[in-house]
Structure formats: structure tokens, C-alpha cells
Amino acid sequence: MEKFPLKGTTNLTLASANSNHPLSVADHTSYQAVSSKTAKAANSTRGGVNTTSLTHPEPLGPAPVVYPTGGGEADEDNMIDITPGNGGVTNPNYPYHTSSNGPGTRQDGVGGVSSATHSIGGGGSGSEGSGNGRGNTGAGGSAGHEGISPTHNRFGRDFHHSDHEGISFAGMTDTSDDIPGIGQYEDFHTIDWQRDIARDRMRHRYIMKKRQDSFLDLLKGAHDAWSGWVCVLLVGLFTGCVAGVIDIGASWMTDLKFGICPQAFWLNREQCCWSSNETSFDSGNCSQWYAWSEIFTSSREGFGAYVISYFFYIMWAMLFALLAASLVRMFAPYACGSGIPEIKTILSGFIIRSYLGKWTLIIKSVGIMLSVSAGLSLGKEGPMVHIASCIGNILSYLFPKYGRNEAKKREILSAAAAAGVSVAFGAPIGGVLFSLEEVSYYFPLKTLWRSFFCALIAAFILRSINPFGNEHSVLFYVEYNKPWIFFELVPFIGLGIIGGVIATVFIKANLWWCRFRKYSKLGQYPVSEVLIVTFITAVIAYPNPYTRMNTSELIFLLFSQCGISNQDPLCDYNRNFTDVNSAIEIAAAGPGVYKAVWLLILALAMKLIMTIFTFGMKVPCGLFIPSLALGAITGRVVGIAMEQLAYNYPKIWIFSGECSTGDDCITPGLYAMVGAAAVLGGVTRMTVSLVVIMFELTGGVRYIVPLMAAAMASKWVGDALGRQGIYDAHIALNGYPFLDSKDEFQHTTLAADVMQPKRNETLAVITQDSMTVDDIETLLKETEHNGYPVVVSKENQYLVGFVPRRDLNLALANARRIIDGITGQSLVIFTSAQPVQNLGPSPLKLKKILDMAPITVTDQTPMETVVDMFRKLGLRQTLVTHNGRLLGVITKKDVLRHVKQMDNEDPNTVLFN
């Protein structure tokens, strides 16, 4: 891996000082310099982003202009002339100490038509050298050299093709299209948000300018404007269709473990019974549906029938699990797990090739049906986010605006994640909030609108398919007709505390097991592990009716109210249903209820233990449904206890008289719903989106306050007992470079403490006009950095720009292939000026791949500011300067390692960058 991969964004250059240039400094106050008359400090801004560590700036005013003189044509591609020349206009804020070497020279050797950029926030009195072993290149007494106005060539005016070559960001010009792959990224690398967004803005300005030329260009402009909406429309359509197929397939295969419909084998148990004329079914069975024991023994009861049913249950579960694990291992290793930790990392700007590819989509879709059908303690809702993101990634390539720009593509992926939750639960608003709160890293307002539209379309398509076979598009629709009483907030908050404890136990145990799997021989046998866990799960689950049934059916049962048609032991109350005109009065629990409570407690323990070992296996597996099941079991048990308390002691003051009339004042199903929200909130640390998902999921809008109380209590307890939710914990376990915007950096270190290289080490740099092709190829072979700063010369390491390693490799290979006369001795030039001597082979000009605006900070910038820049600007790296002279670089990996080191964690767990 790279030692400290360098990757570029924004430092400011004087692109043109010509007063008659169409982008003259006087016309653009947005890029004025902050002059310091006291010659102490100055800062520079770009696009409204202040990246300074200085104090006492003067108010913004007209920027001084410096006319290049003394040996170079004054065009926009020349670098800054930092020398006073005869007849030139001298910057009053830039007092030079000239030497006896002649006019136009400086004591530090920077003379003639020199090139340099100036760090954001640089300043201070000039000191000779910096003590880092990089030559005598101090600022030679210059106290305020930042007074020169840094301007961007191509921001804010009409786009002229003749001006086009002066664009500052690497990979932004049309000429870069001559070199395939410029501006793209390697696998396991971080994207450069600033460069990609700037490239898109430049492309958009070009299209808007060309729109006036012809009707075809007008159509291209309209297509570009609508392409985002069209893309999310297609994502919603395909996500809804795929979700419908998964729901139907998983339902059919789950019922296949219990029996078959001989007349039409493709129907599940419920659909098979639709054609029956019977008015009631025993445990959901009808004469049209044949259990496996009935096929082989012509009986549904008895010891032999039980053994045969048990055997087929285990056999089908093992077969489905074997198929799921084998498909994942052979065709798409990335299709395992939930996918949400990786989606969060990808949306934060990380590249994981093939994670959102077509094979992952196909295998994940098939594999999640098989995994759920195997009866494992997992759900299909989390993987639906991964599946929807795969669809969004694939469809984005139909629109080059998104397919060729990684930053723009993440807007589509955010909308796709919202659609995934929308179809998983039938909760489109909750899906949008989930994408905003939990998954997305960069979420502008237009992405919010598109996510809402995408989730709406996906939910509409799923409702049209109607995989649940009812009039509701939500998974666990319930109808409670009793309001909650004020005192119930106490047990609701208690459920939140219990949920936080259960979630913390689960997270810590699951992390321990995943770490053991990762570093032991067990990780070498993923299929065997899946089969062992499936076998144990099936053997334990079948005897208990609450673990034998599908988990979604169990949650629906626990959420439901007891009525006349409900035959489950949970509803074994001593009630009189003969008088239909009177309300169903609260009654004593029968023996069936107590038996059901004990079975539910056993189911809770079994599901908690098996989910710990299941989540993280090499099969598609989600965590939403198991978490909801754990919480629903807990909540139902607490609800029954409260119900019996109200029945036996109706006169107690805490019930405020609501229960003294004999009416049913306590709803156990409501407690199950609140408990489900509590455990899921503790596991994932969701709050707002969780509450919205829960009331969309159940239709229980009037119970928002109990859900909010339980969710907050659960989050507080979870944060107190363990800092991270399950997804953030798995991101840290896998070593993904993820800077969580919710964490705060509270340490008092400086940029100089973190930058690479350290003291007494050399920094690999490229000079702007004195290195040959062989020199650069040798540098590429001997170092593994992801990019290189370009400086004036080895002796005068004033920053010119930054060039990414990938772009440099591509440019050299392309030049050798198509340009005649390029040899190993050809000079590589990153300026527009001609070389002093042209006796050798023709030079290779690579200014078009140079990022002339890399973001820089001074060595005294607090790391708190640097970390905020990395989070909010999405930086790959920032360059560190002192008095305008390059000292080193801070990459995202350096920041992550430093944060871990400050938190007393192992910094070497950050694997990629």
C-alpha cells in the first residue's frame, strides 16, 4: 500500500495579470486577495471556503496586479512573476531584498520569470530555510508575499475555447479527453470531491454556452438538465421490480420448507389456500396445501409426521444455505453481509470496484432470497439498500454526467439508498431520512428532492406488484384503537433502556466473533461455517413455533392485537366474545399466554445468540428484521406484564382511572412496536429516520411520542455503553477510510505534527521544467505515492501545483505512443514558457494535467481545522507550506491514523487509501 498517497485539490495561483484579459482581476471581487498592510499575514479563499490559520486580515479590497516582465510572454498560462523588473509594476505589499546579482533577482535565487503558488494562510517573517533538510529556500525577508491576488482563469465568465487551456483543475479541460482515463481513480482510493465537482461545473458551463449555437446543442443542454431526474426515475422503477421479485421468491421458498401446493407448485401457502372454499384453516393450512409429512405418511399429526417435517425443514434450510454461500464464493464475494457499512464508505468518497457491479447485484438478489428462506436469523431489508445502490451505479453509466464523475455518481447512490429502504419496509419518507441520517456523506438539497422522487417511484412500483397480497403497502400494518396513557411513558423509556443494553451486548459479541473469524482459520472455510450455523439454527428453531415461523410473520404476530379470529396462544384470555355489542373487556391471561411468554423468552435468547454468529457470514444478511424481532419479543412480554398489572390492580393511581372501567386500556402490541424501535435504534444508532420508518411500517401515527422516547433512551444508553453503532463498528473493523462527520476532534495538535514526510526525511517532488521523462519514470518506480507536488526547482521548493500519479502515468504512456520525438531525455514541462535551451529532444508539455489549485495549509494550522476540511470538503490530501515553501503533505490516511493514535487505538488498522 502507499506510504502516504497524495491526491490533489485547491491552492490558488495568479493565472493572469493582464489588464485587458476577459477575466481580469478587477472584474472578479470573489477572488480578491486579503492584503495585510502590517506585513504579518494574509489568507486566500476559493469558492467561499476559507482555509486559513492566520489572524487580523484586512478588509477585502481590489487586488494588486503584477505584470510579468523580464523574459516571458504575459499570457494567462504564465506562472506568477514574483520579481520586480525594470518598468514593471511592483507590488507594494511585497518588499523584496534584491542581491547584487543584477536586476530582477532575489537573494533566495528566485528570479526571471519564476513560478510559484502561495499557501492559503501563509505568512510571517522570512526565515532562511526551515530546518527540514530541503535547502536554503526561505522567503528571504519577504514579510507579506501573499498580497498578490490569486485568481482562477475560468471561473465566472463565458467559456471561450481560445481560453480553454488555462483551466486550473487537472482533468477539467476537454483536451484531457485526449488521454483516456484522466480524472478517474484506482481501486481502493479516495476520490477528490473538489476536483470532480469543479469538473462538472466546467462541463455544465460549456454546455450552457454551446446551447445557443444550434438546436442539437439545445437538446443536449435539456438532456443534461433532466438526466438526473431520468436516472433516479429508472433507479426507482428497477428497484421496485427487483424488490417485488425478491419478496415473492423469498415467501415461496420459505413455505417450501413446510410443504408444497401440488396443483400449482409455484404458489406459496397463502396463495395456494386462496383457491380453497374453506372458511377456516388450521395453523394456516388448508386442504389444497400438503405438508411434507402428509405427502409421505398421509398424516399431519403424530410422531412420524413430526420427524419427517423436522427432517425436511433441516434439509431445505441446508440446501438453501449451501446454494447462497456457494454462489457468493464463486461469483460475487462482495455480495455477502449487509452492505450498509461499505455503502457508507463508498458514499464518503471511497472507491471499491465491483462492489456495486452487475454480478454483485444478481448474486445478492438471489442470495438474499436463499438466506432468508434458510431460516437464518437475518433479514432482507439491509441488503435491499445494497441492491438498490448496485442498480443506481449500473444505471448511472447510461448518463456520462454521472457515470464518468465519481462525486456526481454519489448523488444517484444516495437516492438509490433511499429507494432501498423504501421498498424494504414500504416507507418512502423513512427511506429518504435514512439516507440523510445514516448513509450519505454529501447530501445537497437537490439530492434530497431526487431521493424523495426515487423512493416514491420505488414504493409505487412495489405497491403495484403487491407482493404481500394485502391492501397495505407496509409490512406490519396494525390498527390500534386505544390511545396510550401518560404513565406508560415510564415502561416505554424502560424498554428503550433495555433495548440499548441488548443492542450493546449484541454489538460487542458480534464484533468479537467477527474479529475471531477474521484472524483465525475459520475465515478460510466460509461455506462450512454457513452450513454449521444453518444446521444449528434449524435444529434449535423447529421445536419452538415462534422461531420456526418466518421472522416477519413473528413480528406481525407480536405487533397484532388479540381478536376473535386470532387463535395463537398469545391471545388465550378468559374473555366472553358472545355479546358482539359490548366492548371486549380486559381479562385474565389464560395458561396459553404464560406458555407463550416462556416460549418467547426462549426465542429471544436463541435469536440473540444466533444473530451474533450469523451477521457477518459470507451470505447476504441484513440486521433490521432480527433487531426488530428481538425488540418486539421484549416489548410484548413487558406489554403482557403491564396488561395483567392493570387487570389485577385497576384502582392504582398510576392508571388514572382509564383502566377502572373494564375497558382494554393496555395494548401489548404497542409495547412490541416500541421495543422493536428501541433495539433497532440501539443497534444502528438511528433516531429520526427510525421513528419515521416505524410509524410508516405500522401505520401507528398516533404513537410517535412513545417511539421517540424509546429511540432516544436507547441511543443514550447505547452511546454510554459503547461508542459506535454496528455499521460504524464494522467500518472500523474492516479498516475502511471513513471520517465520521458526527465525531469531534478534540486534540490540540498542529498540521506539522501529522504531515508526511517527518523530520529529516525527503519529500518526493517534481520540478516544473528541469526533469526528464526518465527522471519522472524513475520517481514513479521508486515511490508509491498517489501524487506529487510540482515545485519551481529542487533548490527553491515553492509550490506550483500538484499532479496525481495515475494521470502522470497515463500522460507519459500516451505521449510515448502518439507523439514523435519523445525520448527518455525529453524535458517534462509543467509551464507554458519555452525551455531555455532546445538543443535536445522536443520537450513534453504536461500542464494540462497539472492541478494548479491544490488546497494548502500552513504548518501551524490546528489539526481540528484540518480534520474539518477533510470532512466538509472531501479532500484527498492537503499540502503543508511554511512562508510559501512546500514542507509536506497530509493525506486522508494520515488524518485517520492520527485520529486513532490520539484515541489510543491501533493506527495500522486503516488499510486502504
Spatial distance between the Cα atoms of 290 and 305, rounded to a whole number of angstroms: 12
Closest to 406 (Cα-Cα) out of 174, 676, 655, 190: 190
Spatial distance between the Cα atoms of 586 and 580, rounded to a whole number of angstroms: 15
Provide the percentage of residues in the chain whose pLDDT is more than 90.
Answer: 30
Spatial distance between the Cα atoms of 389 and 370, rounded to a whole number of angstroms: 20
Assess whether pLDDT exceeds 90 at residue 582.
no
Cell 476559507, residue located: 50
pTM: 0.77
Mean pLDDT score, 842-867: 88
Mean pLDDT across the chain: 76
Query: Who contacts 230 (Cβ-Cβ below 8 Å, separation ≥6)?
Result: 399
Closest to 62 (Cα-Cα) out of 84, 37, 34, 82: 34
CB atoms within 10 A of CB 269: 22
Query: Who contacts 560 (Cβ-Cβ below 8 Å, separation ≥6)?
Result: 478, 566, 669
Assess whether pLDDT exceeds 50 at residue 296.
yes
Assess whether pLDDT exceeds 70 at residue 258.
yes
Q: How many residues does the chain have?
A: 913
| Element (DSSP H or E) covering residue 297 | helix 292-297
φ, ψ for residue 12 (rounded to 5)?
-100, 140
Closest to 846 (Cα-Cα) out of 799, 813, 876, 797: 813
Spatial distance between the Cα atoms of 797 and 294, rounded to a whole number of angstroms: 85
Segment among 92-96, 137-141, 278-282, 730-734 with least mean pLDDT? 92-96
Segment among 42-46, 219-223, 591-595 with least mean pLDDT? 42-46
**pLDDT per position as a tens digit, 145-185:** 333 333 333 333 333 433 344 444 444 444 344 577 777 88
Segment among 67-71, 411-415, 744-748, 864-868 with least mean pLDDT? 67-71
pLDDT greater at residue 403 or residue 95: 403
Closest to 349 (Cα-Cα) out of 120, 589, 9, 19: 9
What three-state secondary structure class fits 507? Answer: helix
pLDDT greater at residue 821 or residue 97: 821
Q: Evaluate the omega torsion of the peptide bond into residue 757 and state whether it is cis, within 30 degrees of 0.
A: yes
Cell 433490521, residue located: 624
Assess whether pLDDT exceeds 90 at residue 711.
yes
**pLDDT per position as a tens digit, 279-291:** 444 455 677 788 8
Q: What is the pLDDT of residue 575?
A: 65
Spatial distance between the Cα atoms of 880 and 332, rounded to a whole number of angstroms: 42
Q: What is the pLDDT of residue 661?
A: 58
Assess whether pLDDT exceeds 90 at residue 52.
no
**pLDDT per position as a tens digit, 401-460:** 898 889 999 999 999 999 999 998 888 999 999 999 888 888 888 889 999 999 999 999
